[in-house]
Structure 1
Amino acid sequence: AMFHLFTHAFFKALLFLGAGSVIHGMHHEQDMRRMGHLTKYLPVTFGVMIVGTIAITGLGIPGIDLGFAGFYSKDAIINAAFVSGHDQGFGYFAYIVGVLVAGLTSFYSWRLAFMTFSGTAKWEHASHGDSPHGAVVAHPDQSHASAAQIETHSEPDTNPRTDDGHADHGHGAFKPHESPWVMLVPLLALSVGAIFSGGLFDRMFIGEGRDAFWRGAIFTSAHNTTLAHIDALPVWAAQAPLVLSVIGLLVAAYYYLLHPAYAKAIADNDGLLYRFVYNKWYVDEIYQATFVKGARALGDVLWHTGDQKIIDGGGPNGVAWLSARAGRGLAVLQSGYLYHYAFVMLLGVAGLLTYALMAWKH
């Protein structure tokens, strides 16, 4: 896990900053459905994004241990899960999940690369207000923008850019451009880590040099021999992550590189599976219905019943209510008339005399 955290820092940062470079080159456009054919205009960004994609999908050759950073750390986790399954059946379940996730990661990562950099230039149509599917639309925050602003596909208060990325205060044609070197140099540096960090540090993090590297910083039981057998897997188990990653790559290439019309047809059909995936497995909706609304309902109960009725009602509010009620009752006796007070005093004197006579009599 620590090894993957280390390698992951390189290629995930590379992909995030690479996405920022694409957004910059596309004049702040963030919808991949409005991109395509960007390799020619953003060659350096394309190259580093492919490096990051290969690294995050874990492509490599298991037999000779040759691959980018993600290949070493991702496969190490999956292999360790398989080895731990010999003693705990849950390890096999974790292995299966890891292999399937490797395929999904490969699919969506290569889908991103193909939709963004390959195929036809969707931005040529988008720059004139057309949606990726042919309908004329404007951005949500462009509902009151001028036609020229919509045609340049910019925010209402954003000036279009020239090919070199500088502001064009006219309304020139939209055209992607490569990012400046101040953005590209960090991407190139991260690319080096995404390529070599796995192979260079594999021995120290999880290999035979791990004891000298960690020096007791991470406790490992003497009975845990998982890392010692991490490379002793059946051929099919060792090859499965690579096979699923390649399958994910091929499926993405088939639908988004070779036959993009098929992907569009699936989206236009708006089927149950498509809506399930498009809405991110409805994780947000389920989270909202269970945790958010559940936590709010529990909070309302604790607020109205626990806090207001029990704590406040039986505590400060209850004491204040009782004091006010007693005060109103005692206020009736405070009329302000002298004869009322004299009458009460006579009743008191009569009471005391009665008590004294009865006590003296006994």
Structure 2
Amino acid sequence: MVAQLPPGTDGVDAGKTGALTGTEQTAVVPRSDPSVPLPFTRTVFEGTGGRGPVHTRPKPKRWGPYSVAQWLGAAVVGGAALVVLAAMAVLAVRWLLSLDVMQEFLGTYPGEYHLPDSAPVGIPAWLGWQHFFNFFLIALIIRSGLQVRHETRPSAFWSPRGNPGRKINLSLWFHQSLDILWVTNGLIYVVLLFTTGQWVRVVPTSWDVFPNAVSAALQYVSLDWPTENGWVNYNALQQIAYFSTVFIAAPLAIATGVRMSGIWPKRAKLLSSWYPIEVARAIHYPTMLYFCVFIVTHVLLVLATGALRNLNHMFASQGSIQPDAYAANWLGFWLFVASLIAVGAALVAARPLILAPIARLFGTVSSR
């Protein structure tokens, strides 16, 4: 039987059409026409996949490299890791301090050394006021400095009356104005510190400060904290921290801030080449971070090592040679709360609506 193959069917050319016999006979079935309905009832129905609207989840808002959920997860994991590491450190140091050689070390260096006989006792009222003013100004300086660093579209600008061509944004004017007040307050503090003899409390006067600082640090880590009475004497670790803050970190902040400000002479090319602005920027921000760490650590230790007594020393200028004196007096605590309210109110009020009228007293404020 001869089967006629349509040309182009399954690769069979019309010129090769001929008789197929035996095993070579094949049945050629034409392709089905999708327009012709099936001769039986459909039992499998088409799904909607690929045809319906595509619903995509909005990407979570990111704060830096991570989303809020990722930051929370990192905080939980990191916090748990820190707790474990802290517990291990406490156990290791407690074991170390139980050794005879370390007990002898603690006996020789209890964490503080005796001040000179001429050292004053107590914290005068002027020192308490200086402490508050410094806290008030440094909080505003840190806040305004971060605003200057991250502000992309300033809402207002300030220029001095004598030099309208020099224009800076209002946040930078506020930051630099606070710097001037902070430096002035610091100079008054240093002058009073040396004229009243209070400098011996924050400036090391003996090489014993270093082994005593190691002793105090080990005692803090072991949670068996050194006995202290800031009314009479700071421990060696406190003294080094206060000295570093007053006489190292503060001058660094001032020197780098001056280099980055408009006070720096632009025509002093040789001086600028010796002290590039990139160096100032690289030092200024870490110095601010140091102040943040110092403030947080300082406040936590003040509250954890006898809050009422320590707050009475710093804010009420009340104290005694006896370490537990004024431990039940709440005056210093309420003055501390009032200072926190004052700082919080200043941080909230530091916005263009309030800063602009003050800035106009010293120059011209414009939106461009």
TM-score bin, normalised by smaller chain: under 0.3
For normalisation by structure 2, the TM-score amounts to: 0.24
Bigger helix fraction: 1
For normalisation by structure 1, the TM-score amounts to: 0.24
